[in-house]
């Protein structure tokens, strides 16, 4: 469970948000929505321990978080294969027994994300969807209880977006993974999440997905 009480954050004189109160239960699939600059990434950074709130508190019963950013431009000559890239998230170990275990785990995750047949492909030559799946696979390596998708579908074609989201929905259901989906995508919010946390006027509202409207994603002011 994630529970925020009276959570506020400012950078210097700039108030980002104030008095957030919300709860996310284990195994929920929620979207985090709101206009550009409303505080979505800042809130996620507080969850990940990368920023401190100015006041209030955030309680989390699980701290293992998998973070899946939107893939950025990766040059065609990027030196690592898909499998090597995923392994970057693996803590280096000198214990050969553990290495075997970890190798098995990587193969399981490659399978789960549909990347087994592509594991030797240079990441730079992978398609957008494949790159995004590699980011997802890398995030899964730590056995997270919470998965944060930070605009992870933003630069993908509609069909590929759906494939990725179907995969995440499966993980959510089968493995009871809590999913927080930061997005500007109205259709995906409607299709995949049941509840949205909406930033509005420096505050946060919890809304049923049936009440989510397109103007909630637009610029403020």
Ligand X SMILES: Nc1ncnc2c1ncn2[C@@H]1O[C@H](COP(=O)(O)OP(=O)(O)OP(=O)(O)O)[C@@H](O)[C@H]1O
Positions that interact with ligand X (CB under 6 A): 11, 16, 34, 36-42
Q: How far is the CB of 43 from ligand X (least distance, A)?
A: 7
Q: How far is the CB of 220 from ligand X (least distance, A)?
A: 10
Q: How far is the CB of 151 from ligand X (least distance, A)?
A: 7
Closest to ligand X by CB, 13 or 210: 13
Look at strands 195-200 and 203-208 and give their pairing. antiparallel
Closest to ligand X by CB, 40 or 161: 40
Q: How far is the CB of 8 from ligand X (least distance, A)?
A: 13
Count other C-beta atoms under 10 Å from residue 46's C-beta.
21
Q: How far is the CB of 184 from ligand X (least distance, A)?
A: 7
- Calculate the dihedral angle through the C-alpha atoms of 71, 74, 76, 80, rounding to the nearest 10 degrees: -90
DSSP secondary structure string, 39-56? SHHHHHHHHTTSS--SEE
Closest to ligand X by CB, 46 or 140: 46
Closest to ligand X by CB, 39 or 144: 39
Q: In sequence order, which residues have a C-beta less than 8 Å from that of residue 215 and are 6 or more positions away? A: none
DSSP secondary structure string, 131-155? HHHHHHHHHHTT--SEEEEESTTTT
Q: How far apart are CA 49 and CA 82, in angstroms?
A: 28
Closest to ligand X by CB, 141 or 197: 197
Q: How far apart are CA 118 and CA 137, in angstroms?
A: 13
Strand, coil or helix: 180:
strand
Residue with tokens 């999440």: 193
Q: How far is the CB of 182 from ligand X (least distance, A)?
A: 7
Closest to ligand X by CB, 47 or 115: 47
Residue with tokens 């399978």: 111
Q: Say how many Å lie between the first and final Cα of the chain, rounded.
A: 33
């Amino acid at each position: 469970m994630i529970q925020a009480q009276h959570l506020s954050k400012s950078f210097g004189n700039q108030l980002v948000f104030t008095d957030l109160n919300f709860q996310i239960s284990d195994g929920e699939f929620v979207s985090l929505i709101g206009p550009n600059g409303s505080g979505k990434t800042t809130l996620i950074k507080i969850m990940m321990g990368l920023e401190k709130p100015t006041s209030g508190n955030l309680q989390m019963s699980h701290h293992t978080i998998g973070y899946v950013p939107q893939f950025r431009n990766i040059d065609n000559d990027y030196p690592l294969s898909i499998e090597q890239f995923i392994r970057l998230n693996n803590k280096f170990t000198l214990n050969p027994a553990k290495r075997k275990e970890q190798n098995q785990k990587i193969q399981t995750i490659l399978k789960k994300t549909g990347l087994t047949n592509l594991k030797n492909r240079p990441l730079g030559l992978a398609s957008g969807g494949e790159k995004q799946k590699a980011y997802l696979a890398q995030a899964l390596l730590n056995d997270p209880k919470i998965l944060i998708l930070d605009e992870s579908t933003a630069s993908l074609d509609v069909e590929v977006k759906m494939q990725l989201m179907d995969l995440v929905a499966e993980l959510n259901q089968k493995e009871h993974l809590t999913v927080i989906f930061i997005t500007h995508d109205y259709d995906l919010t409607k299709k995949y999440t049941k509840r949205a946390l909406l930033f509005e006027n420096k505050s946060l509202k919890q809304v049923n997905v049936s009440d989510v409207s397109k103007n909630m994603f637009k610029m403020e002011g």
